A and B are shown apart, each in its own frame.
Chain A
Amino acid sequence: MSLPALRLRGLRKTFPKVVAVDGVDLDVAQGEVFGLLGPNGAGKTTTLEIIEGLTSSDAGEIEILGLTWARNGREIRSRIGVQLQSTSLFNKITPRESLDLYGSYYPKRRSTEELLRLVQLEEKADAYHITLSGGQQQRLALAMALVNDPELVFLDEPTTGLDPQARRGLWDVVRSMKAEGRTVVLTTHYMDEAEALCDRLAIMDHGKVIATGTPASLIADLAIPSVVELTFDGPAPEPGAFATDLGLAVERRADLWEIPTPDPKALLPRLLESAEARAVPFQQVHIRRATLEDVFLHRTGRSLRE
């Protein structure tokens, strides 16, 4: 592998009331889709903004395509593509005009037609921005991040607030970026998105990277490949004595209990027996594969969605 696309060492940023980024080290290889996964407020966006040169860091080193902000600011800006969490455009500008205008800022640019085709906005090319749907606006934001044919693309929560169909559409655009050989760094708080798109992930919480790896390796590292779920009709009760009987950790969620286990087959008879004995009023039993959600839960004791 040649030069890394991105290299961070000891990145730190403190705001008056909170340490937003607390010593982050990252290496992103060229051509991979790298995800920063974490709940809101984990420091993902701040990390990204420091890398993009929008926010200054208090400490740490950043190398982007082998370049540094201190020496090569203009070149970095020419070679990266950025989609910010909210890209606001004028109400009465068309996608074609936006792409032409932003394209004109760069020495190297892709044709507007090609970009419109890539994000499937050809039909809306001459419609005012205000008439585009949320998904279309977000696809335009991705196209704008690609106007300069960038080697490295940063996407900040590209699918937040979109319906499932629009999210799939955006995922396709991200996959095509990878297919074109670009390096993509994205943030998300959706674990399904991280699993579907990312070659490698860093899970962030409270400004720190708490785990790095491929989605599969992160789950495998848990050593608890399965989770048994007992669902209730209404709020789940306290597990209390039931958990003591089993000798296992029982996580209480809104309307279910989660019991991580390496061997669900062995657990199930014991579990049903205890439930019978304690008269646990559960409705259904599910066995599922562990997900990134469980990885996060296991590492932090909290749910991603909380």
Chain B
Amino acid sequence: MMLWRQFAMEWRLYSRDRVAMFWTMAFPVILLLGFGTIFRDSAGPKLTVVRVATLAPGARDAALDQALVDLQLKVVALSRAEAETRWARGETAAQLEPDGEGYRLRLNSYLMAQAGATAGLVNQAWLVAQARLSGGPEPLRIPIQVESPGRKRSANYASFLLPGLLGLNLVSMGLFSVGMVNVSYREKGKFRRLAVTPLPKWIFLLGQVLHRLTVTVVQAAILLLVGYLVFGIANQGSFLNLTLIMALGTGCFMAFGFALSGFAETSEGYAALSNLVFFPLMMLSGVYFTLDSAPVWLQHVVAGMPLAPFLKALRAVFNDGAGLAGHGLGLGIVTAWGLAAFLLAVKRFRWA
């Protein structure tokens, strides 16, 4: 009964705190909608070829243009002058232009990755166009499909971002909703006021923990729902595995915030300390982008911090429908951080 009252009051006060509501409930959704929409490109990126217009286009030109489009190339048709300007700006990777009786393909040496791939497709298109003109059978092609690796259902960036935001929510909940609140309660004497009442301390603390836990569940549910309704992102793995991972992360990051709050005397001090932890964790752990192109030593460092292995396991389950088996080490690292933080929190915790 006491616990329920404590819990209900936490929720009532929380629901009146518009700033906290915005940051915990609305902000992650805004991030997801914003980035998800900006980087929405469900068919995957297309290769572009600049096509310099022929003065008197014939059947051969028409057939080639059609073949280029059929091979999934994005064709930008420009006059020679316009094409030269674009080329000079360095934006063109590959430019197909009339040359005497035939064609010539100019490739930008600075953009060889796109230019090379485009060249292959242009040559295939040329073969297709010739076959069509002669009425012969089309040459057999190996089909090409452009997609982002590791994403089964969708190449949408939103499906990469969503698990990242779920993880980030847990970190900010631990550092700010748990850690910051602890410091300010201690600083303002709220703990002392409680200490002179017969309320058992564990009821107060458990009420707090249960409130944060339910906030996390609501927050995750909203994100998952928006992800599903707007971007069609759904959990590919088992719901049990997802719940297990989220529960582990919640425990780990709550303990993390609790432990950190023992190292600051004032709210200002804690704000500095928590941001010092929060920003590197957020930027380096693969919340918004993968670290595949980062230096190897940095990847090793990050893999030893709690958020990166957590997100890796979460994405494996959520995006790729994998089990937990392959992520024993990563989840072990998360658990170790959680346990260490918990022990430290118990050791450093002060009511006043």
Task: Please classify how large the interface on chain B is, using the bins under 10, 10 to 19, 20 to 34, 35 or more.
Answer: 10 to 19
Q: Given A87-B189, A90-B13, A77–B5 Cβ distance below 8 Å?
A: no
A294 contacts partner chain B, Cβ-Cβ < 8 Å: no
The reply to whether B192 and A105 contact each other, CB–CB distance below 8 Å, is no
**B196 CB contact (under 8 Å) in A53, A86, A92, A101:** A53
B189 touches A105 (CB 8 A): no
In the bound complex, what is the Cα–Cα distance between A43 and B282 (angstroms)?
47
Scoring A residues 144 to 159 as 1 if CB is less than 8 Å from chain B, else 0, what string do you get?
0000000000000000
Judge whether A142 is part of the interface by a CB distance below 8 angstroms. Answer: no
Residues of B within 8 A of A84 (CB): 189, 192-193, 196
* Known pairs A54-B195, A54-B196; A88 contacts B189 (CB<8 A): yes
Once the chains bind, are A105 and B195 in contact (CB under 8 Å)?
A: no
The reply to whether B13 and A105 form a contact with Cβ atoms under 8 Å apart is no
CB of A80 within 8 A of chain B? yes
Instruction: Give bound CA distance, A92 to B9, whole Å.
Output: 11
Please tell me which one of the listed residues B13, B188, B196 contacts residue A77 in the complex, with CB atoms under 8 A apart: B196
A52 to B352, CA, bound (A): 14
Q: How far is the CB of B4 from chain A (nearest CB, A)?
A: 10
B145 contacts the other chain (CB 8 A): no
Tell me the bound Cα distance from A92 to B2 in angstroms.
21
Give the residue name and chain of the A residue nearest to B196 (CB). Answer: A82
User: Which B residues lie within 8 Å of A54 (CB)?
Assistant: 192, 195-196, 352
Any B CB within 8 A of the CB of A104: yes
B190 close to chain A: CB less than 8 A: yes
Given the contacts A86-B188, A97-B9, A105 and B198 also touching, CB distance less than 8 Å? yes
CB closest chain-A residue, reference B2: A104
Contact, CB under 8 Å: B189 / A86: yes
Partner of B198, one of A78, A86, A87, A89: A78
- B300 at the binding interface (Cβ < 8 Å): no
Q: B141 on the interface (CB 8 Å rule)?
A: no
Contact A104 B5 (CB under 8 A): yes
Which of A88, A92, A106 is within 8 Å of B13, CB to CB? A92
B16 interface residue (CB < 8 Å to A): yes
Q: Which of chain B's residues have a CB closer than 8 A to the CB of A92?
A: 13, 16-17
A80 to B196 Cα, complex, angstroms: 9
Cα-based distance from A106 to B5 in the complex (angstroms): 13
B197 contacts the other chain (Cβ, under 8 Å)? yes
Are B196 and A52 in contact, CB atoms less than 8 angstroms apart?
yes
CA distance A84 to B197 in the complex (A): 12
Chain B residues with CB below 8 A from A102, complex form: 197
* Chain A residues closer than 8 Å to B192, beta-carbon distance: 54, 84
Which chain B residue shows the least CB distance to A88? B188
Cβ of B189: which chain A residues have Cβ within 8 Å of it? 84, 86-88
* Residues of the B chain whose Cβ atoms lie less than 8 Å from the Cβ of A105: 2, 197-199
Annotate A110-139 by CB proximity to B: 1 below 8 A, 0 otherwise: 000000000000000000000000000000
Smallest beta-carbon distance A81→chain B, Å: 9
User: Do the beta carbons of A106 and B16 come within 8 Å of each other?
Assistant: no
Give chain A's interface residue range (CB within 8 Å of chain B). 20 to 34
Query: Taking A54-B352, A88-B190 as contacts, is the C-beta distance between A93 and B197 under 8 angstroms?
Result: no
Contact of A77 with B198 at beta-carbon distance under 8 Å, contacts A84-B189, A84-B192, A88-B190 already known:
yes
| Residues of chain A contacted by B197 (CB below 8 angstroms) | 77, 102, 105-106
- Which B residues between 172 and 195 are near A, CB-CB below 8 angstroms? 188-190, 192-193, 195
The residue in chain B whose Cβ has the minimal distance to the Cβ of A144 is B193
Query: B177 CB to closest chain A CB, in angstroms?
Result: 14
> Bound complex: CA of A257 vs CA of B192, how far in Å?
44
B300 to chain A, nearest CB (A): 44
- CA A97 to CA B13, docked complex, whole Å: 10
Most B-side CB within 10 Å, residue of A54, A102, A106: A54
- Rounded to whole Å, the gap between the CB of B195 and the closest CB of chain A is 6
CA distance in complex: A106, B192 (Å): 16
Complex CA–CA separation, A53 to B188 (angstroms): 18
Kindly provide the distance from the CB of A80 to the nearest chain B CB, expressed in whole angstroms. Answer: 7
A74 in contact (CB, < 8 A): yes
Instruction: Contact check, B195 vs A93: say whether CB atoms are below 8 A apart.
Output: no
How far does the Cβ of B174 sit from chain A's closest Cβ, in whole Å?
21
Decide if B196 touches A93 in the complex (CB within 8 Å): no
Interface string of A44-86 (1 = CB under 8 A from B): 0000000011100000000000000000001001101010101
A contact residues around B198 at 8 Å (CB):
74, 77-78, 105-107
Nearest B residue to A107 via CB reads: B198
Kindly report which residue of chain A lies nearest to residue B1, judged by CB atoms.
A104
Contact of B9 among A77, A80, A88, A101 (CB under 8 A): A101
**In the bound complex, how far is the Cα of B189 from the Cα of A86, in angstroms?**
7
| Contact call B5/A101, Cβ cutoff below 8 A | yes
Shortest CB-to-CB span from B1 to chain A, Å, is: 8
CB 8 Å contact bits of B1-17 with A (1 = contact, 0 = none): 01001000100110011
Q: How far is the CA of A84 from the CA of B190 in the complex (A)?
A: 10
Q: Which residues of A contact B193 (CB under 8 A)?
A: 82, 84, 87-88
- Additional pairs, 13, CB under 8 Å, beyond known A77-B196, A80-B196, A88-B188: A74-B198, A86-B188, A87-B193, A89-B190, A90-B13, A92-B13, A92-B17, A97-B12, A104-B5, A105-B197, A106-B197, A106-B198, A107-B198
What is the interface of chain A, defined by CB distance below 8 A to chain B? 52-54, 74, 77-78, 80, 82, 84, 86-90, 92-93, 97, 101-102, 104-107
Closest 5 CB pairs of A and B: A88-B188, A105-B199, A82-B196, A92-B16, A77-B198
Q: List 19 A-B contacts (CB under 8 A).
A: A53-B196, A54-B192, A54-B196, A77-B196, A78-B198, A82-B193, A84-B196, A86-B188, A87-B189, A88-B190, A90-B13, A97-B9, A97-B12, A101-B5, A101-B9, A104-B2, A104-B5, A106-B197, A107-B198
